[in-house]
Amino acid sequence: MRKTKIDIRLKSAKANWWTFLVFTYSLFLVSCNTKPNTTNDLDAQTYAKVDSLMSLMTLEEKVGQMLNLGFAALLEGEFFAGRDTLIFDEEKLNRLLVTYGAGSVQNLSTFPMTPEQWRYNIGFLQEYAKKNTRLKIPLLYGIDAVHGANYTAGSVMTPHQINLAATFEPEFAKIAGELTAYELKASAIPWNYAPVLDVSRHPLWGRIYESFGEDTYLTTEMGKAILDGMQGENPAAYNKVVACPKHFIGYGASYNGKDRSPIMLPERIIRQSLLPPFESAIKMGLLSLMISSGSLNGVPSHVDYNLITKLLKDELGFKGFVLSDWSDVDNLLLIHQVAADEREAVKKSVLAGLDMCMDPYDESFAVHLIELVKDGEVPISRVDDAVRRILYVKFKSGIFEDPMFESRSYDEFASPESDSINHHIACESITLLKNSNDILPLPKESKVLITGVSANSINYLNGAWSRTWSGQDTIFNDLDKLTILQAVQQKIGAENVSYAKGTGYTEEIDIPAAVRKAKQADIIIACVGEKPATEKPSDIDELDLPDVQQQLVKELTATGKPVILVMVQGRPRIIREIEPLSQAIVMAYLPGNEGGRAIADVLFGDHNPSGKLPYTYPRYSGSIWTLDHPISDERDVTFGLDGFKPQYEFGFGLSYTTFEYSEIQLGSDSFPMNESVNISVEVTNTGEIAGKESVLLFVSDEVASISPPVKLLKRFRKINLKPGEKQKVEFTINSDDLKFVDQHNKWIAEPGYFTVRIGDKTDRFYMGGNSK
């Protein structure tokens, strides 16, 4: 690991601190003398504290709470300086934390810090704010911990959200949320910019791996689970944090699949397909939310009053605060061109309902907002509303009582038990897409060649947001974690494994060397994949797996040796030409720092794969579907209905055993509106080894007033069966599950017939009365 130094020295500058004011909390702690009986009582007490504190605040102090700074803005040197030493700059500290009273700080500088280093730095900032500001309001420190506490050195880096979705097991999402929150609190960080609740509607989108995939119901259920683990009912607890889901709304549904590109969708689709995960999160007690960087039907989300105020705050009842994304208020001027200058951008965003601005570099947001209020262009009531929301969350987070969470030691940080759980989740996510002649699992006495760009890279397994933003810096890798090559060597012996890299991401390195070594092997394991990237650097212009990686597979196949294709990638890269050449295909997604071991366990039979695709895997870049497409999308060139031919459908995934589904059993073939129907099926393990199966229930509305989707996922459950074992799986569907958003943007249920699909079985029922 790169040698780093944390230095508490301050750049010399004479302090011009505010007059010290001894402030007690008696005004707002008095309400704590009575024991609360309900959540409403607790909220009332919290708001009493907030209102008492706000009564003491000046305009400048209020606006400061709305300013979110980057950590590097407080350090000596340029913001993006390549530091290996952190030295706080006294002039910047005084100006940003005291004069302008910034209420929150976020993220890291150049390198990941250990928990002790995080505590050292955040502790210094908290003490500085306490000592030098008039009201001593603690800072709310936030970070992007999107797969574990990924910016804390040595932490558990869980599989990305797309892997969690592939498990079809919400409990694993909950556990991932718990691991993340615990290790963030170990680092004294109480606020996390996660999870991603965007429903990913385009496979080109480079951040699809940060999401739970393309399906609304799966995203909603996994989102609820990870939030339960991450924030729960008490974000002030030692193992919970304040969650900040993102990106409200439509960020994963741009028309062209590019990051931050415009979203062009009717309100009906937004409400039906994109909104439910956020709405469920709000019902769970969501406390903060990040706005999308994009524009929705021509209106940048950061200035969309109807989106932020009318929909989010008024209609959905969101009582937390709304945060901008990185420098996106400035982007209203520079990128979206809806403001003439920074002052107008600040005005428009705050009036739209933005509560906190991620202005990472300086105090300009606060300067403009103070002037706007004094000039009467932004009412003080709007500022008061924002600050009341922010302070409410700060009290709920526990930082007023214990800003450094020192009441507990965090001895289980990166523990062997946590690594074991992480490894198991990675195993459960891996998806077997092809297994011709049951070539997998491989015998452990096999002589194998391992080749490809992702074969010997921890970075490819982890993806972006891994110790650094891009995830590409190898200096900060955890040396005790195994690549695919190292894990296979450990499992079957290094003497049975040969290696040739073959290619880079888009460039050839030495394909002939890989071919020569392949001739001496029994089996070829070709590990292809995507270079770690996120946000704009993750944009691509074609979905096909890079040509050079496909060429490697083609030349290896010419040796006559069987090829096992292992894909380490967030997106479903098109493999149409090499799919027929591969005897087996394993989709690993981005499994995290236990991914190497997990892939080796699957390849050699120590784990039976049970993952299923959380998105539709396209065969052609010009034929893009999601699960919930209408049947009109399936028309072919002969005007038939044979046009839907993806490489693999949503929910597809094989096992080393086989499962047989019985006929579907309905509790009734009809039921009245506002009631429910019980649906069951028996699943039998007809193979010779134990295995897990995700039982997915799809429903199709046969006739509706708006063209219905071909099918929608409505329930799922993962079961574990021994050989020969049978289990009855039961679901209940009610009329709410059969609703859709109509032309007037209202949720309605219509009477009619519905087809239900589980496995290879179908049945139908009538909702609305007696069957017709």
- Rg (Cα) of the chain, in Å, rounded? 27
Give the three-state DSSP class for 17: coil
Tokens at 613, concatenated? 């695709």
Residue 575 burial (C-beta neighbours within 10 Å; 0-12, 13-18, 19+): buried
* DSSP label at residue 231: T
The string over 252-261, giving b where at least 16 C-beta atoms fall within 10 Å of a residue's C-beta and e elsewhere, is bbbeebbbbb
Q: Is-contact 722 690, C-beta < 8 A?
A: yes
CA dist list (Å): 255 to 203, 250, 252, 324, 665: 11, 10, 9, 22, 41
CA atoms of 454 and 445, how far apart (whole Å): 23
CA atoms of 584 and 580, how far apart (whole Å): 9
Residue 327 burial (C-beta neighbours within 10 Å; 0-12, 13-18, 19+): middle
Q: Return the H-helix or E-strand segment holding 321.
A: strand 321-323
> Cα–chain-centroid distance for residue 298?
25
CA atoms of 195 and 198, how far apart (whole Å): 9
* 325 labelled catalytic: yes
Question: Which distant-in-sequence residues (6+ apart) come within 8 Å of 622 by Cβ?
Answer: none
CA dist list (Å): 30 to 25, 45, 130, 344: 8, 9, 22, 41
CA atoms of 28 and 380, how far apart (whole Å): 22
* DSSP label at residue 95: I
CA atoms of 118 and 99, how far apart (whole Å): 25
In single-letter form, the type of residue at position 582 comes to: S
Q: Return the H-helix or E-strand segment holding 243.
A: strand 242-243
DSSP bridge pairs for 683: 661, 727
* Torsion angles phi and psi, residue 711, rounded to 5: -165, 155
Q: Is-contact 246 255, C-beta < 8 A?
A: no
Give the three-state DSSP class for 508: strand
Per the listing, tokens 């055993």 go with 657
Rounded to the nearest 5 percent, the helix, strand and coil shares of the chain are: 35, 20, 45
Tokens at 294, concatenated? 């994009």
Task: Please pick, among 215, 228, 325, 359, the residue that the annotation labels catalytic.
Answer: 325
Tokens at 68, concatenated? 């979110």
Q: CB under 8 Å, gap of 24 or more: what pairs does 705-709 form?
A: 705/742, 705/743, 705/750, 706/268, 706/740, 706/742, 706/743, 707/630, 707/631, 707/632, 708/630, 708/740, 709/627, 709/628, 709/629, 709/630
> Which phi-psi region, left, alpha or beta, contains residue 769 (left: φ > 0; alpha: ψ -120 to 50)?
left
Tokens at 12, concatenated? 């010399």
Q: Is-contact 11 123, C-beta < 8 A?
A: no
**Cis peptide leading into 249, omega within 30 of 0?**
yes
Question: Which distant-in-sequence residues (6+ apart) come within 8 Å of 381 by Cβ?
Answer: none
In single-letter form, the type of residue at position 610 comes to: S
> Cα–chain-centroid distance for residue 702?
34
Question: Which distant-in-sequence residues (6+ apart) come within 8 Å of 376 by Cβ?
Answer: none
Give the three-state DSSP class for 57: coil
Give the three-state DSSP class for 466: strand
Start-end of H helices in 143-241:
161-167, 170-186, 216-230
Residues designated as active site: 325
